C-alpha cells in the first residue's frame, strides 16, 4: 500500500547574520513533526532553506565590502552547519539564488502575468527596508513599521503589481475555513485585516538589482515575497519537473512565525489561486521566544546561540526544552534559569532517575536480565492504562501542533512509573523470597513502561531513545515502532540490561547560572555591553580632567605614524566598533576603533590618519587590533580625525 504523504515547511531564513535560538525554535518544531510523522509511517517531505534576495542583504554585503553572494554563502554555510549540529532531518534545503528556483520563479511570474493578474503602475508608499514591506499610513504603529518598530521612508517607483484585491472574497472564505489558519487568535487578526480591504501588491523593484529579473522587463527585479513564497513549490520542481510537486503538493503545513502569517495566509494563497494551483492545508503561526528585555536581536547584541547551549547540555535537552517549555502559539520568555530548572526537573530527576533506578534494580534483583511477569498486583492496571493510553493523546496534541501538551502527556507516564516504584516498594519485596514473583513482575512492568516512553520521545530526542534501548537491551525495530506504543508486554523476558551513564546529569543551578552569566551567546551580552559602555563613559569623562605629567622620555616611547585607511567595515559583534585596514608604508594593519557612532565605514575609507603604531596588539570582541587611530574631541561633542598632509607611513615627530 502506498504510504500517506506529509509535506511540512519552515520559513526560509534571511542569511543576514547567523541564526539564533528564535530561528532554531521553528526549525526544531518542524523537525519534531517530520520525525513524528515518519514514525507513524508517513512518507515525509520536510523543506527548509534561505531567502537570499533583497535590498537589505545587498546593503549588508556592501557594508562588508563583499558581493552579496560572497556574504550570503558564508552565512548559509553557517546555517547548514547549525542544522547539522541540531540534527535537523530536512529532506531538501532551498536557496533562492539557486538556478532551479530562479528559473521557476520567472515561469510562475509569467503564469500570473498571462492570466492578467500582473500589471505595471507606480507605487508611492511608506517602506520599511529591514522588513522589505510597504505599509499604509493606517498600518503604522506610532509612525513606525508595525512589524519591527523601525522608521519607514516614503518611496515612489515604477513597479509591477499583483491583483491581490481580486482575490479578497476567496481569501476571506479561505481564512474562515476551519483548520486553515491556526491558532485561532491569528485567524481573527487576519480576517479583520482582509475585511478592511486588500490593496494590490507591489511585486517588483527597480531601485536595486539583487533579485530575480522580471522576465519581461530586465530593469526590475521580482520583489521578495513572490520570490520567497514560491520556494515551497519550486523546491518540489514546479513547474518544469513536476514529479515531486505532484506527489507532495499541497503542503500539509507551513510553519511560520507570527509576524509573517499575513504573507502566508493571504498573499501566498492568492498567488496560488491566480496560478490555479491547490492551496496549502494549514498555516500555523507560532509565537516568539523573547528575552526578559524584549526581542532578541543581533544588532542589540543579546542573542542566545543554540550551539552554546548544545555544547553544554546536548541537543536532546535543548530540543526538549524548547518544545516543552513554551506553548507553541504564544510568545515565551527565555532565561537561563527557566532552562536549567526544566532540565533538572524533567530530564535529570524524572526521566533520568527512572531509567537509572530501573536498570540498577534489574541488575540487583534479577542479575541484569528482564524477568517473567506472571504475578500481577495492585497498581499494574493503572500503570498499563496510563502507558498505553498516551499515544492516542500524543497524536491528537501533535495534530494540533501542541508540542508542549504532547510532551506533558509522555511525562505523565514518566511520573506514573516513578510513582509505581514508590507504591510497589521493590526493596521491601526483595526482602522476602515469597515475593520474588511479584518483584519480577514489577521489574518487568517498569522496563516495559520505559520502552513505551522511549518510543514516544523518539521524534523529540532520538539520542535519548537509543541510549534507553541500549541500556534495556532492546534491538531497534523490536518494539520500537509507533504501533508498539499501544501495546503493553512486548519487551522480551530474558533480555539483558546494561547500566550506562546518567542520561542527564543533575546541574548545580546556582553555579551554572554564574558560568552562563560570563558567557557570550547566552542572552546576557547586552548586560556585559552595558558594563563596557559605562566603562567607556567613565573614560570619556575622565578624559576632561588634566592628566599626570610625563617626561619627554615617556613621550618618546610612543611611536606615532601616518596611515591611510584602505578598507573599513562594521565589527560583526559590536555596534560601536569599526574595523579598518590601515596602510602604513609597506605594511597594512587592522585597527579597531570605537567610533561607529560618529563615522560610517564609507567615511573612514581614504582618510590619512595618525596612528599610535607601537600600542600592544589586543583582541577587541574577537577582532585583532594592531594600533590606535587618533581622534580629537570637537567642541560639539563629536569626534574629528587627527589628520595630516603627510603620505602614509611617515613618522610623526
CA distances from 605 to 439, 566, 601 (A): 80, 6, 7
Q: Which is nearer to ligand MSP, 253 or 591 (CB)?
A: 253
Pairing of strands 133-135, 92-95: unpaired
Residue selected from 6, 7, 26, 592 as contacting ligand MSP according to rule CB under 6 A: 26
Q: How far is the CB of 46 from ligand MSP (least distance, A)?
A: 15
Q: Can residue 95 be called a binding residue for ligand MSP (CB under 6 A)? A: no
Distance CA 212, CA 203 (A): 11
Nearer to ligand MSP, 181 or 584 (CB): 181
Rounded to a whole number of angstroms, the minimum distance from the CB of residue 289 to ligand MSP is: 4
**Min dist. Cβ of residue 258 to ligand MSP (A):** 6
**57 binds ligand MSP, rule: CB under 6 A:** no
- Using the rule CB under 6 A, give the single segment among 252-260, 317-325, 413-421, 591-599 that binds ligand MSP: 252-260
- 595 Cβ contact partners less than 8 Å away, ≥ 6 residues apart: 576, 578, 629, 631, 639
Tell me how far, at minimum, the Cβ of 296 lies from ligand MSP, in Å: 5
Give the CA distances from residue 238 to residues 230, 250, 300, in Å, rounded to whole numbers and listed in that order.
9, 12, 40
Residues 6+ apart with CB under 8 A from 306: 19, 20, 21, 24, 82, 85, 86, 318
Q: Quick check: helix, strand or coil at residue 346?
A: helix
Nearest CA among 592, 355, 331 for reference residue 467: 355
Nearer to ligand MSP, 26 or 108 (CB): 26
Nearer to ligand MSP, 294 or 622 (CB): 294
Q: Which stretch binds ligand MSP (CB under 6 A): 251-259, 310-318, 441-449, 632-640?
A: 251-259
Site for ligand MSP, residues 104 to 143, rule: CB under 6 A: none
Nearer to ligand MSP, 289 or 609 (CB): 289
> Least separation, in Å, of the C-beta of 288 and ligand MSP?
4
Decide if 448 contacts 387 (C-beta within 8 A): yes
Q: Which is nearer to ligand MSP, 328 or 488 (CB)?
A: 328
214-233 residues in contact with ligand MSP (CB under 6 A) are 228-229, 231
44 scored as a contact of ligand MSP (CB under 6 A): no
Question: Phi first, then psi: what are they for 22, rounded to 5°?
Answer: -60, -45
Residues 6+ apart with CB under 8 A from 13: 19, 23, 48, 49, 50, 51, 79
Residues forming beta bridges with residue 46, ordered by sequence position: 8
What per-residue string of b and e applies to 535-573 under the rule 16 or more CB within 10 Å gives b? eeeeeeeeeeeeeeeeeeeeeeeeebbbbbbebbbbbeb
Is 30 near ligand MSP (CB under 6 A)?
Answer: no
Contact between 372 and 441 under an 8 Å Cβ cutoff? The reply is yes
Residue 326 in contact with ligand MSP, rule: CB under 6 A: no
Question: Within a 10 A sphere around the Cβ of 237, how many other Cβ atoms?
Answer: 18
Site for ligand MSP in 231-250 (CB under 6 A): 231
Per CB under 6 A, the list member of 60, 214, 271, 289 interacting with ligand MSP is 289
210 binds ligand MSP (CB under 6 A): no
Closest CA to 252 of 46, 38, 26: 46
User: Using the rule CB under 6 A, is 14 a contact of ligand MSP?
Assistant: yes
Is 256 among the residues that bind ligand MSP (CB under 6 A)?
yes
Closest to ligand MSP by CB, 270 vs 629, is 270
CB of 523 to ligand MSP, least distance (A): 11
Which of the ranges 8-16, 342-350, 439-447, 457-465 carries the binding residues for ligand MSP, by CB under 6 A? 8-16
Among the listed ranges 5-13, 80-88, 342-350, 491-499, the one in contact with ligand MSP (CB under 6 A) is 5-13
Distances in whole angstroms, Cα of residue 69 to Cα of each of 50, 63, 653? 12, 13, 45
Q: For residue 259, state whether it binds ligand MSP (rule: CB under 6 A).
A: yes
Instruction: List alpha helices for 40-131, DSSP H.
Output: 55-63, 68-85, 99-114
Q: How far is the CB of 131 from ligand MSP (least distance, A)?
A: 8
Is 22 a residue that touches ligand MSP (CB under 6 A)? yes
Residue 46 is a binding residue for ligand MSP (CB under 6 A): no
Q: Which residue has the cell 476551519?
A: 178
Q: Please state the φ and ψ torsions of residue 43, each to the nearest 5 degrees.
A: -90, 105
Minimum distance from CB of 126 to ligand MSP (Å)? Answer: 19
- In whole angstroms, what is the distance from residue 407 CA to residue 26 CA? 17
The answer to whether 11 contacts ligand MSP (rule: CB under 6 A) is yes
Q: Does 296 bind ligand MSP (CB under 6 A)?
A: yes
Q: Among residues 34, 260, 429, 452, which is the contact residue for ligand MSP, using CB under 6 A? A: 260
DSSP 362: H
**Considering only residues 149-208, where is the footprint of ligand MSP by CB under 6 A?**
none
Name the one residue in this structure whose C-alpha cell is 535543548.
318
Which chain residues interact with ligand MSP by CB under 6 A? 11-14, 22-23, 25-26, 51, 228-229, 231, 256-257, 259-260, 288-289, 296
Amino acid at each position: 500500500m502506498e504510504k500517506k504523504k506529509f509535506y511540512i515547511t519552515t520559513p526560509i531564513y534571511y542569511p543576514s547574520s547567523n541564526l539564533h535560538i528564535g530561528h532554531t525554535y521553528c526549525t526544531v518544531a518542524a523537525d519534531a513533526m517530520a520525525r513524528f510523522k515518519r514514525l507513524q509511517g508517513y512518507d515525509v517531505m520536510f523543506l527548509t532553506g534561505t531567502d537570499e534576495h533583497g535590498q537589505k542583504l545587498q546593503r549588508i554585503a556592501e557594508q562588508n565590502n563583499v558581493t552579496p553572494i560572497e556574504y550570503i554563502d558564508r552565512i548559509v554555510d553557517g546555517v547548514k552547519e547549525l542544522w547539522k549540529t541540531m540534527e535537523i532531518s530536512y529532506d531538501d534545503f532551498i536557496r533562492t539564488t539557486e538556478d532551479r528556483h530562479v528559473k521557476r520563479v520567472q515561469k510562475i511570474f509569467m503564469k500570473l502575468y498571462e492570466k492578467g493578474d500582473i500589471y505595471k503602475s507606480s507605487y508611492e508608499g511608506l517602506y520599511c527596508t529591514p522588513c522589505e514591506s510597504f505599509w499604509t499610513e493606517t498600518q503604522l504603529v506610532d509612525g513606525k513599521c508595525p512589524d519591527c518598530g523601525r522608521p519607514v521612508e516614503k518611496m515612489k517607483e515604477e513597479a509591477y503589481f499583483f491583483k491581490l484585491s481580486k482575490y479578497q472574497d476567496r481569501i476571506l472564505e479561505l481564512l474562515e475555513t476551519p483548520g486553515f489558519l491556526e491558532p485561532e487568535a491569528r485567524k481573527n487578526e487576519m480576517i479583520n485585516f482582509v475585511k478592511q480591504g486588500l490593496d494590490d501588491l507591489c511585486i517588483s523593484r527597480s531601485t536595486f538589482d539583487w533579485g530575480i529579473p522580471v522576465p519581461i522587463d530586465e530593469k526590475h527585479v521580482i520583489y521578495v515575497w513572490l520570490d520567497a513564497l514560491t520556494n515551497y513549490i519550486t523546491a518540489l520542481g514546479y513547474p518544469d519537473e513536476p514529479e515531486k510537486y505532484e506527489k507532495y503538493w499541497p503542503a500539509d503545513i507551513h510553519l511560520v512565525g507570527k509576524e509573517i502569517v499575513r504573507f502566508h495566509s493571504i498573499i501566498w494563497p492568492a498567488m496560488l489561486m491566480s496560478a490555479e494551483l491547490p492551496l496549502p492545508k494549514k498555516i500555523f503561526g507560532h509565537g516568539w521566544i523573547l528575552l526578559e528585555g524584549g526581542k532578541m536581536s543581533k544588532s542589540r547584541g543579546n542573542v542566545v546561540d543554540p550551539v552554546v547551549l548544545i555544547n553544554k547540555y546536548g541537543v536532546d535537552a535543548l530540543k526538549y526544552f524548547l518544545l516543552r517549555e513554551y506553548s507553541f502559539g504564544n510568545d515565551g520568555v527565555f532565561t537561563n534559569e527557566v532552562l536549567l530548572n526544566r532540565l533538572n526537573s524533567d530530564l535529570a530527576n524524572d526521566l533520568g532517575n527512572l531509567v537509572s533506578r530501573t536498570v540498577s534494580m534489574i541488575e540487583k534483583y534479577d542479575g541484569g536480565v528482564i524477568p517473567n511477569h506472571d504475578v500481577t498486583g495492585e497498581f499494574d492496571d493503572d500503570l498499563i492504562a496510563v502507558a498505553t493510553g498516551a499515544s492516542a493523546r500524543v497524536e491528537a496534541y501533535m495534530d494540533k501542533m501542541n508540542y508542549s501538551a504532547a510532551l506533558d502527556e509522555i511525562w505523565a507516564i514518566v511520573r506514573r512509573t516513578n510513582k509505581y516504584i514508590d507504591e510497589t516498594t521493590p526493596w521491601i519485596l526483595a526482602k522476602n523470597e515469597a515475593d520474588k514473583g511479584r518483584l519480577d513482575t514489577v521489574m518487568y512492568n517498569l522496563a516495559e513502561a520505559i520502552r513505551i516512553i522511549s518510543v514516544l520521545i523518539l521524534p523529540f530526542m532520538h539520542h535519548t531513545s537509543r541510549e534507553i534501548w541500549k541500556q534495556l537491551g532492546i534491538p531497534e525495530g523490536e518494539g520500537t515502532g509507533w504501533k508498539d506504543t499501544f501495546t503493553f508486554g512486548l519487551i522480551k523476558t530474558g533480555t539483558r540490561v546494561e547500566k550506562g551513564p546518567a542520561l542527564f546529569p543533575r546541574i548545580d543551578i546556582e553555579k551554572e547560572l554564574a558560568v552562563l552569566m560570563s558567557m557570550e551567546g547566552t542572552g546576557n551580552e547586552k548586560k556585559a555591553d552595558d558594563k563596557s559602555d559605562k566603562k567607556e563613559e567613565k573614560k570619556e569623562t575622565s578624559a576632561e580632567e588634566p592628566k599626570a605629567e610625563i617626561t619627554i622620555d615617556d613621550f618618546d616611547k610612543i611611536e606615532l605614524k601616518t596611515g591611510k585607511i584602505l578598507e573599513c567595515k562594521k565589527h560583526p559583534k559590536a555596534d560601536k566598533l569599526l574595523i579598518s585596514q590601515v596602510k602604513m608604508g609597506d605594511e597594512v594593519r587592522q585597527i579597531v576603533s570605537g567610533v561607529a557612532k560618529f563615522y560610517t565605514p564609507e567615511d573612514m575609507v581614504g582618510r590619512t590618519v595618525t596612528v599610535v603604531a607601537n600600542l600592544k596588539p589586543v583582541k577587541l570582541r574577537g577582532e585583532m587590533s594592531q594600533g590606535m587611530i587618533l581622534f580629537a574631541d570637537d567642541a560639539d561633542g563629536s569626534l574629528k580625525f587627527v589628520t595630516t598632509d603627510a603620505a602614509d607611513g611617515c613618522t610623526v615627530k
